[in-house]
Copies of this chain bind each other. A is one copy, B any other.
Amino acid sequence: MNNMQAASTLHDDAKRVERALARLLCADDDDDTDLMAAMRYATLQGGKRIRALLCLAAGALADTPAHMLDDVAAAIEMMHACTLVHDDLPAMDDDVLRRGLPTVHVKFGEATAILVGDALQAHAFLTLASLDAPGDNRIALVRELAQAVSAEGTAGGQAMDLSLVGKHVERDQILATHRRKTGALVRASVRMGALCALAEDAEHAALYCALDHYGDCLGLALQVIDDILDATADTTTLGKTPGKDAAAQKPTCASIMGLQEARDFALDLLREAREAIAPLGPRGERLAQMLQLAKAYLFKQAPCG
């Protein structure tokens, strides 16, 4: 597959997931509140869909039915949007711009933004629970996603991130924070795709381990790249306000390591992820494309999602 074909596949995959989101988040006719409209605004205004694409790429390792994978990827995007909407709130990161548009609380008010996040989380689990798949598969997916956004995952990572503001922080602390805040959901996206695709036998257990290592490296790399872009890109490229981390005295990989070392570290992580999926051979092509995409963000300074 050449680069243009690869880009076209990614574009088509993202559209598939957006169609699933639009289908899964539709308003009750009796409802005259803004809630569902705001939930659609939070999820259907683009974004790179990296987590959804990772899920589809891992899911493509077997003949998983497309409609199942689309819904799993859509559930992951709902959960990602939940974390973004809440992180953007004035009491948290206080962001007014996301993907080049006003954030949910700016457009719909803070109360609605809080409820949008809560309802998106519920709809993500409802989507997984309603999949046309055996109960054991569905429950494994619910468990992965719940773990990823628990106090040991994104919620704990965001709490750590806020607790580090203005403090002197060691490299290990910031990496542990990033692994939870961003890494946990990226890693879960790969694992959930793999859960759709892989049966329970010894060969697949080894594959699953490889994919998990890949997801762990890529998840951390994406947050390092995000830190670099926050320090170097402009609003148009970023789609959100740049320089927020420095202004908020928030320690990042860029501020702790310096830009060059942070870039090298991100490239090392992407290389490690590539090695993790080497045993997959040509079957890992789509997962390898995702690493190319992350690299393109790092150098072209486009936003990570």
Contact = CB atoms under 8 A, between A and B. Distances in A.
Contact of A33 (B119, B126, B159): B159
Interface string A129-167: 110001111110011011101111101101110110000
A122 interface: yes
A86 interface: yes
- Which of A32, A92, A139, A147 is packed against the most chain B CB atoms within 10 Å? A139
A34 interface: yes
Contacts of A110: 91
A23 B118 CA distance: 24
A82 interface: yes
Given A111-B92, A121-B122, A39 B151 contact: yes
B151 A31 contact: yes
Interface residues of A, number: 56
Interface string A159-198: 1101100000000000010000000000000000000000
Main SS at interface, chain A: helix
A159 B115 contact: yes
B33 A115 contact: no
Contact of A162 (B86, B111, B121, B139): B111
A124 to B, nearest CB: 8
A125 B123 CA distance: 12
A158 B82 CA distance: 17
